[in-house]
Structure 1
Amino acid sequence: MTRRMKLMTGLSTLAAVSALALTGCGGEGEGEGAEGEVDLSTTISGEAEGEGAGAEGESEGATASGDPATDDVAYLKLLGLVRGHLIAFYELYQSGSQDMARMHVKHPESELYMDIAPAFGPRGQTGFADELTALVSAAAAGGEVDSEYSDAVEALNAHMPAAGPAVMLLAVSEIIRVAADEFDIGVEDDGAISNAHEYQDAYGFLVASRDMVAGIETTDVNATDAISLAHEQIELALASFDGLTADMTEGRPSTLYGAAARIELAARGLM
């Protein structure tokens, strides 16, 4: 009961702070909206993490959590980002946008995989470079990729550590914060999608987050409440997307930042 009260109190505080901030800057729907949006990316953590702030994909691997070799939140975040790229790739490839899809399938020499690779040894794992290489090759050939995709996803999932709900949700909140950064880069103030790659990345990261939340097993009522909240927030964030090849969207990055902040609060309420 104490933890449930802690969770609900924290969420009420966030709602109150967000409402006051929105009141002070006119809310999301007034005027041009961009300058008046509340950036919830730093509401909880107290510092900007910087993902997505540079050129395309440059700082996706950056993490404020710690060393992925020993920090499960940092490790799960990187695995989730890789998974998100694979999701964006597969959905685009299956829809016929193969050239666009290939931009999302990452070779083991890519920066993101290189960020996570040093953690495999200390964790007694071998990595999934072979599976990624096979998927890249299959995609380059332009044929069927179902088998290679399934192998890559299975290998990635086998590297997921056994983590409790709080750790999983903290990692998810960080992944969604990266998604918010990518969405902010990819979508203009008027809703025009100016960088399809970043917009698609954001979608993939959210779907990966949803999958991670769905995989949490617990019988604790407080954790169940937090998981339900996370599902709700992720679905709200996914409503910002109108197809991976859309030209316009009514979504706003503040929706994704808000989801990340609320899920982080829920996770910390379990600690």
Structure 2
Amino acid sequence: MIKFRYICLTFATAAIVSLSACNSTPTAETPSAPVANSTPQATEAVSQNNHSGHGSKAKININSAILSQLDKFEAKLGVPALSNKIQAARPYASPEDLVTKKVITQEQFDQIKDQVTVQEVVLTGEAKDVDYMTKLGLMKGHLFVAQELLDKNQPKQAEPHIGHPVEEIYVDVEDQLNERKVKEFKTTLVSLQDLVKSKPKDAKVKTDFTASVQSVDGAIAVLPVAQRSKPGFVLQVINELLDSANSEYGAAIADGKIAAAIEYQDSRGFVTYANDLYKGISSKVAQADPEAHKAIETSLAELVKAWPSVIPPATPVKTPEDVTKLIKTIEENSQKAIDKTSTQAQR
């Protein structure tokens, strides 16, 4: 599946227009208030100003979404490798091309048509920063599970998780990295992946891995410290990471079994990093809204139980429905906390 995924990505790269690039059209203005559950990289221009919270469903651009986003369709429809199939059939002139190109059936399209778009949007202000940090957060999640697998002497399983940040994400955030004058680190990630693939026991693996993590951390650090510690901002990033984790977990499970270890591991990494981010702002959220904080903290503690180890268990600890319910609770209470902190900041 990984080889197929990478091949698809190679052919699709020319069709991918970074959703955070500054030359995308149409242009949209960023909402003046933080938007907690609008996936910035997938929000249509016509709806960007209408998001009021977690009840709204942002659409996914099938021409440029990364695999973690497309996995939402794979999880919902239960079609194996659907993310790769969507990517391989790019570009699309309209959402209906999914049917005309025989990627999915009309019946399947009817189930997701309200979530599909081919429109682009230029992100500005906070929405752009949320998108940027979310993409880097996904990289962190991938590298987290890669490190766990290397520690367990599982280099073959670790290698694709080092590759995903390069193949899936870097191309999508590259324009923002350049715009923010972040030193190029794709080469560092590729070098690490090659080394793990060819010489997994080489002592240089540890050094290169540290350098890769530091490169991602350095890219995150270009955002102002005040912004990276602001609850309203961080909660938006957390919700985006959990949304991706939810999709990956759903795509990992079939017929009550964990059929795709990679998706299971991806979701574990995203949840782990989201949990780490929340620890950094938990005291501020608790001060602003104790009830919302308690609900978020309790739900996160329960959520992480779905991934008892980086190696998937024989049977899932939690069903996709269980995971979705917990993430929804976190999102709803995050919105309450965002609203509360926003109100307090305006006083």
Number of the residue aligned with 1:46: 56
- Tell me the TM-score normalised to structure 2 length: 0.57
Number of the residue aligned with 1:215: 280
Q: Report matched runs for 1:101-116 at 5 Å.
A: 101-106=158-163, 109-116=166-173
Number of the residue aligned with 2:193: 136
Kindly indicate whether residue 246 of structure 2 is the aligned counterpart of residue 188 of structure 1. no
Kindly indicate whether residue 334 of structure 2 is the aligned counterpart of residue 264 of structure 1. no
Kindly indicate whether residue 318 of structure 2 is the aligned counterpart of residue 244 of structure 1. no
Whose radius of gyration is greater, 1 or 2? 2
For structure 2, list consecutive stretches of 5 or more residues without a partner in the other structure.
Answer: 1-52, 61-68, 75-80, 88-115, 343-347
Following the alignment from structure 2 to structure 1, what is the Cα–Cα distance between the partners of residues 120 and 195? Answer: 34
Aligned length in residues: 227
Question: SS of the residue aligned with 2:57?
Answer: coil
Report the CA distance between 1:172 and its aligned residue: 0.8
Kindly indicate whether residue 237 of structure 2 is the aligned counterpart of residue 171 of structure 1. yes
Number of the residue aligned with 1:82: 139
Which structure is higher in helix share?
2
Number of the residue aligned with 2:150: 93
Kindly indicate whether residue 179 of structure 2 is the aligned counterpart of residue 118 of structure 1. no
94-103 or 48-57: bigger deviation: 48-57
Following the alignment from structure 1 to structure 2, what is the Cα–Cα distance between the partners of residues 106 and 255? Answer: 30
Following the alignment from structure 2 to structure 1, what is the Cα–Cα distance between the partners of residues 182 and 219? Answer: 7
Number of the residue aligned with 1:204: 269
Question: SS of the residue aligned with 1:101?
Answer: helix
**Bigger relative contact order, structure 1 or 2, given CA contacts below 8 A and separation 6+?**
1
The C-alpha deviation readout for 1:194-240, integer Å capped at 9, x for no partner, is 11111111111111112222333865611676555444322211101
Question: SS of the residue aligned with 1:96?
Answer: coil
Q: Judge conservation of contact 2:300–2:330 (CA < 8 Å) in 1.
A: no
Q: Judge conservation of contact 2:166–2:189 (CA < 8 Å) in 1.
A: no
Report the CA distance between 1:120 and its aligned residue: 1.1
- Tell me the TM-score normalised to structure 1 length: 0.71
104-113 or 64-73: bigger deviation: 64-73
Report the CA distance between 1:49 and its aligned residue: 5.1
Q: Judge conservation of contact 2:243–2:327 (CA < 8 Å) in 1.
A: yes
Question: SS of the residue aligned with 2:258?
Answer: coil
Question: SS of the residue aligned with 1:117?
Answer: helix
Question: SS of the residue aligned with 1:47?
Answer: coil
Q: Judge conservation of contact 1:73–1:171 (CA < 8 Å) in 2.
A: yes
Q: Which of these residues, 206, 211, 216, is aligned with residue 156 of structure 1?
A: 216
Letter in 2 for 1:47: K
Q: Judge conservation of contact 1:176–1:257 (CA < 8 Å) in 2.
A: no
79-88 or 208-217: bigger deviation: 208-217
Report the CA distance between 1:89 and its aligned residue: 1.1
CA 1:229 to 1:57, structure 2 compared with 1: closer, same or farther past 3 Å? farther
The C-alpha deviation readout for 1:88-140, integer Å capped at 9, x for no partner, is 11111211221111111126751311111111122232243233133213312
Number of the residue aligned with 1:233: 299
Letter in 1 for 2:305: A
Identity percentage of aligned residues = 21
Following the alignment from structure 1 to structure 2, what is the Cα–Cα distance between the partners of residues 149 and 232? Answer: 33
CA 1:214 to 1:121, structure 2 compared with 1: closer, same or farther past 3 Å? same
Report the CA distance between 1:68 and its aligned residue: 6.5
CA 1:154 to 1:217, structure 2 compared with 1: closer, same or farther past 3 Å? farther
Number of the residue aligned with 1:38: none
For structure 1, list consecutive stretches of 5 or more residues without a partner in the other structure.
Answer: 1-42
79-88 or 142-151: bigger deviation: 142-151
Q: Judge conservation of contact 1:127–1:159 (CA < 8 Å) in 2.
A: no
Following the alignment from structure 2 to structure 1, what is the Cα–Cα distance between the partners of residues 212 and 289? Answer: 30
Question: SS of the residue aligned with 2:306?
Answer: coil
Question: SS of the residue aligned with 1:239?
Answer: helix
Question: RMSD between aligned alpha carbons?
Answer: 3.2
